[in-house]
Amino acid sequence: CLNDSVCDALIPTGEGGRCYNGSELVTNVVGQCVVDNKGLSRYLPDGIVPKMTFGCNRDTDTCNAEFWVSGREAFYCSLNQCNVGTWGAKSTAFVDCQQMKCSCIPGRFLCGNYGLDISSVLNEVEGPMNIKCHDDGFSDCYIRELKVSKTLASIIGDDAINMECNVGQCLHYSQLPSYRKVSHKTSKSNMLIGVATALLTVYFVLQVIKVLVQNRNVSGSTLDTKPAPTTLLSTKEDSTDNDTGTGMGTEIDSMLKSTLRATVAFRDISYKIPIQGPDLVSLNVLGINSNSETTNSAPQSSSVTDLTKYVEVLKGISGIVRPGEILAILGASGAGKSTLLDILSRREKCGKVAGKVLINNRDLIKDVTPEEFHRMSGYVDQQDIHVATATVYESVMTSALLRLPRAMSIAAKKKRVCEVLVELGLWSVRDSKIGKSGARGISGGEMRRVSIACELVTSPSIIFLDEPTSGLDAYNAFVVMDTLSKLARRYGRTVICTIHQPRTDIFSMFNQLIVLAAGQMCYSGPAENMAGYLASIGHPVPDGYNIADFSVDLVQQATVTSNGGQSQLLAETPKTQSDKITSNPEQSDGEWSPLLGSSELSLAANTSNFSSADDKTKNAQHKPKTQHQFLIYNVDISLPQVLTSFTKSSQFHRICDELDDITGTGWLPTNFEMISSVGMTPRVRPVTPMQQVKVIFLNLYDLTRILYRRLSGKQVSTTFEDKLRPTAYEQFKVLSARIFRNLYRDPTLMLANYAVSLFIGLMCGVLFYQLDSSVQGMQNRLGLLIFILAFYGFGCTTSLLVFSEERLLYLRERANAYYSPLAYFMAKVTFDLIPLRVVPPLLLTLIAYPMIGLAATWSQFISFFSTLVLFNLTVASQMFFIGLLAEELVVSNFLASIMLLFSLLFGGLILNKESIPKLFLPFCRLSSFNLAYEALAINELRHAHIEEVRFGLEIQIPSASLISSFGFDLLAFWPDVAVLCVVLA
């Protein structure tokens, strides 16, 4: 051999081969020599040089030698009872063999060819024979045997065959004479340094957290001393005075005035969801009609087991809302208000949507991409979801930093946030934490206003709000709606909201009104015409009674009556019912509700008619001051009557004419099943594999188109203005700041990880203290490695909560296009997973590594730590992914446990890899435990040596042979690391 690479194939493990050219015989030596006897060269043609090869085996004490001319073997000899050694200061080699037997090949050199034949002598030699050299190793050597020497001396004048040899032995590196065994001993000073470094690391982390908390408290107290800024909708004079020399007011005012003004028109919106099995039976029992897919309204005669049944949630809803107007959607619970709002706001729906939605005469699905739509709109969900540890100011500021135009300065964004907080009455609680169950923060009403502030801060063209006044007291409800009304009127915003029981002054702010009952439209048109419309159909609003309350009560009464239920009770003044009472007093007890008999209103009415003069005088003292006293009576009305009354009204024809002007009389419905999104959820959730594939390719196409337009300097949208929101890197910075704040404000999990890692490091250091190189020590090393991996692997199940706790927050923010999924994931990995998955392994390694006496070189220490961290991150990302898939924590815990157990089963210790059937080998190759365990074992034992003395026998074998018997590939360290990186990605 001439180099190490040729020896790897001869080593059982396939690596670690070394070409040894020294003179000491370790196992098998092979030499190639050039014969330089001038007497022999005279018998050969010019240019032909004879050669000899030889090899010796130490285990059998045998050698062999061959003589070659022009690549053809002339004779060969086998030698037995050989002794190979060195002599002198230069380690000159020698070979002494007691027995020798040669065979001459007829017709070859020295055997008849070239006029020289000594075959008779060669065939009779018996030994002894010796090879001796005069220089380092096998340089300047000769081979001599008594009979052959005499013959050669008589022919060529030399008594030996002189040679210049190159020899080599293919050995495992541990067999080299210069090999020194790896020491696993660690000095006590190194142990103390490791423990001290780990403790200092924990102390440093705690000090950083302490400083951050103190800085937060200082900044909070500083903010408290600042006066409230100019409100969002203040006068121009005030804004000019406050913004002189800063330009912030100009930026904000420019943004507010330049935002697109949007008219939203929708026509014949219908929505139905599939029902089957028990759900269908339950609906039929409740009196809700289910329709087949081919029919929209007529009940079917098929059995309830028909799997193609649908129930209509919405049917034929139409309306128009223009810039500067507020559209209120009224209705009782279950009327379909939130469903209609979701459809108009392009939320994901699982059922079938029909109808047409236009924004500025552009089809919502066909002409407007989801990215464009969510940039121009804001949605306030019915459920308030925020980061519990964030303050009010930070929550709104995060929304501003993620969604306001990139060109807008930070100072202007901060001022914008402050204006919205003041306008919504949140300035006094701006430094209060949001809070959660078990950690009280702001009130429910304040949290509701924070949700609204997060959307108002961007001043979207269209604002969707799902019950914005829920959870608010009357005053704050008015403040919220007044802010929306001013924003709509002054800056031409379009506001669409669902609302429950608005008080009279709030109702007066509405420009357009839609009243729903059982998913059908009972009224759609100007809110100011509602009272006149009710009077026109024979149900005037009683004096002093809230129009919204009366409208909802009326349609709900009609809905219950149509479903065969008992009549509900509506209110009317005594004036409208006095004739009924006095004209038929005998039937009054049957007409009035039983509730009336127990009410104070009933008592007042009865005493006014039947009591004596004294009683009248006495009761008059307790009579309420108002003249509009309400009584309760039964109304005979059904939902079909209400619907028919509206479709025959002039208001219905008026709105149809307006929609005809927008959509045309020959309008085509919007293709709501068209799947097109740029990082957003599709309009119709994909169910079949083909739909999912279609979503992927359409997303890639849309993303490529947007990237191309941006790189070429064009607007993303040719229809709407592209404000160029923050880049992915800027989103990453904002999200990272929020995640890190949450981490250090609630450090329980982080500190628990650090404490447990310190404890486990100390425990492992004691149990596995200073492992030796025996078989027992090797077993303990392998057990230690799998224990550490199991500890961190199963400890990563805490990552299941990383997303489950923020699932609803993420879905809400993604639906409102706060950020891209990549920015969120990278921020999570960097500032949530890394503090929990990098620092704990570092603490354990610093303590346990020197105490146990693992491989002492720096390169092996770094490889150990890096592999452990990579494994920790990989398993944590897998747990993160399972947390994304499974909404229920119980299900995610079960799936995570099964995955980790199977990964551990194929990890390489429980089950030998070579005994695994080929069918299950992919599980082994993808097992995180297998990849990390193999890498750690190779790093620790690849260059180690096992020594064991049992029953007087000394056993010495390379550790590489041991781990190779487990099925590990000694050359797979970097491939294993690469696969772990791929799995992590």
Question: HEC states along 417-459?
Answer: HHHHHHHCCCHHHCCCECCECCECCCCHHHHHHHHHHHHHCCC
Instruction: Give the burial string for 827-846 (b: 16+ CB within 10 Å, else e).
Output: bbbebbbebbbebbbbbbbb
CB neighbours of 161 closer than 8 A, spacing ≥ 6? Answer: 35, 37, 40, 52, 142, 143, 144, 152
Residue 941, pLDDT above cutoff 60: yes
Tell me which range, 371-375, 562-566, 896-900, 953-957, is most confidently predicted by mean pLDDT.
896-900
Residue 616, pLDDT above cutoff 60: no
Q: CA gyration radius for the chain?
A: 45
Mean pLDDT of 74-94: 79
Only one residue has tokens 């509700």, namely 593
Asked whether the whole model's pTM tops 0.85, one would answer: no
> Which of 230-234, 292-296, 732-736 has the least mean pLDDT?
292-296
Report DSSP letters for 251-277, one per residue. HHHHHHHHSPP--EEEEEEEEEEEE-T
Position 562 scores a pLDDT of 64
CB neighbours of 258 closer than 8 A, spacing ≥ 6? Answer: 721
Position 237 scores a pLDDT of 39
Contact predicate 113/142, CB 8 Å: no
Mean pLDDT of 477-499: 86
The one-character DSSP state at 830 is I
Q: Regarding beta strands 953-958 and 945-950, do their DSSP bridges make them parallel or antiparallel, or are they unpaired?
A: antiparallel
- Helices assigned H by DSSP within 537-684: 547-562, 574-583, 588-591, 594-597, 600-610, 613-621, 639-647, 650-663
Residue 181, pLDDT above cutoff 70: no
- Helices assigned H by DSSP within 286-433: 337-344, 370-376, 392-403, 410-423
Report DSSP letters for 652-701, one per residue. HHHHHHHHHHHH-TT-----TT----SSS--SB---SHHHHHHHHHHHHH
Tell which residue, 856, 879, 892, 979, has the closest CA to residue 927.
979
Tell which residue, 844, 673, 821, 670, has the closest CA to residue 754.
844
The one-character DSSP state at 180 is -
For the four alpha carbons of 603, 608, 610 and 616, in that order, the dihedral sign comes to positive
Position 689 scores a pLDDT of 52
CA distance 517 to 316: 12
Position 393 scores a pLDDT of 92
Q: Regarding beta strands 494-498 and 326-331, do their DSSP bridges make them parallel or antiparallel, or are they unpaired?
A: parallel
Position 911 scores a pLDDT of 83
Residue 834, pLDDT above cutoff 50: yes
Mean pLDDT of 946-951: 74
What's the pLDDT band for 292 if we cut at 50, 70, 90? very low
Only one residue has tokens 């050359």, namely 971
Mean pLDDT of 890-896: 86
Only one residue has tokens 């934490």, namely 433
Position 321 scores a pLDDT of 92
Mean pLDDT of 71-100: 82
| Alpha carbon 926 to its chain's center | 19
What's the residue count for the chain?
985
What's the pLDDT band for 186 if we cut at 50, 70, 90? low
Residue 395, pLDDT above cutoff 80: yes
pLDDT tens track for 489-538 = 888 889 999 988 888 889 989 999 999 988 889 999 899 988 888 888 88
Position 704 scores a pLDDT of 66
Position 664 scores a pLDDT of 75
At residue 290, the 3 state secondary structure works out as: coil
Tell which residue, 658, 637, 640, 638, has the closest CA to residue 648.
640
Only one residue has tokens 């897919």, namely 293
Only one residue has tokens 């004596």, namely 612
Tell me which range, 32-36, 84-88, 240-244, 628-632, is most confidently predicted by mean pLDDT.
32-36
CA distance 97 to 130: 6
Mean pLDDT of 441-461: 84
What is the helix (H) or strand (E) element at residue 34, kind and residue range?
Answer: strand 28-35
Contact predicate 80/62, CB 8 Å: yes
Question: How crowded is the C-beta side of 553, counted as CA atoms within 13 Å?
Answer: 20
Residue 593, pLDDT above cutoff 50: no
Residue 310, pLDDT above cutoff 80: no
Tell which residue, 801, 863, 862, 872, has the closest CA to residue 840.
872
pLDDT tens track for 651-707 = 888 888 888 888 777 777 766 654 333 334 444 444 445 555 565 565 556 556 656
Position 788 scores a pLDDT of 93
The one-character DSSP state at 76 is E
Higher pLDDT, 791 or 20: 791
Higher pLDDT, 142 or 561: 142
> Which of 288-292, 798-802, 821-825 has the least mean pLDDT?
288-292
Average pLDDT, the chain: 75
Instruction: Give the burial string for 724-737 (b: 16+ CB within 10 Å, else e).
Output: ebbeeeebbebbbb
Angle at 970 between CA 964 and CA 972, to 5 degrees: 130
Question: How crowded is the C-beta side of 962, counted as CA atoms within 13 Å?
Answer: 25
pLDDT tens track for 231-287 = 444 444 344 444 444 556 666 666 666 567 888 999 888 888 876 544 444 444 444
Peptide bond before residue 278 is cis, with ω within 30 degrees of 0: no
The first and second tokens of residue 373, run together, are 């739509």
Angle at 187 between CA 186 and CA 193, to 5 degrees: 100
At residue 93, the 3 state secondary structure works out as: strand
CA distance 487 to 458: 12
Tell me which range, 210-214, 348-352, 470-474, 848-852, is most confidently predicted by mean pLDDT.
848-852
CA distance 281 to 264: 38
Contact predicate 77/71, CB 8 Å: no
Tell which residue, 828, 784, 793, 984, has the closest CA to residue 899.
793
Question: How crowded is the C-beta side of 479, counted as CA atoms within 13 Å?
Answer: 20
Position 602 scores a pLDDT of 37
Position 867 scores a pLDDT of 92
Residue 922, pLDDT above cutoff 90: no
Residue 401, pLDDT above cutoff 80: yes
The first and second tokens of residue 419, run together, are 């204006």
CB atoms within 10 A of CB 965: 12
Contact predicate 962/941, CB 8 Å: yes
State which amino acid sits at residue 578: S
Position 623 scores a pLDDT of 43
Position 618 scores a pLDDT of 44
- Helices assigned H by DSSP within 259-385: 278-285, 337-344, 370-376
Main-chain phi, psi angles of 51, to 5 degrees: -135, 160
Position 791 scores a pLDDT of 92
CA distance 659 to 358: 10
Mean pLDDT of 704-728: 59
Higher pLDDT, 423 or 586: 423
* Burial degree of 745 (CB within 10 A; 0-12, 13-18, 19+): middle
Main-chain phi, psi angles of 898, to 5 degrees: -65, -45
CA distance 387 to 385: 7
Question: How crowded is the C-beta side of 163, counted as CA atoms within 13 Å?
Answer: 27
Instruction: Give the burial string for 767-786 (b: 16+ CB within 10 Å, else e).
Output: ebeebebeeebbebbbebbb
Contact predicate 401/757, CB 8 Å: no
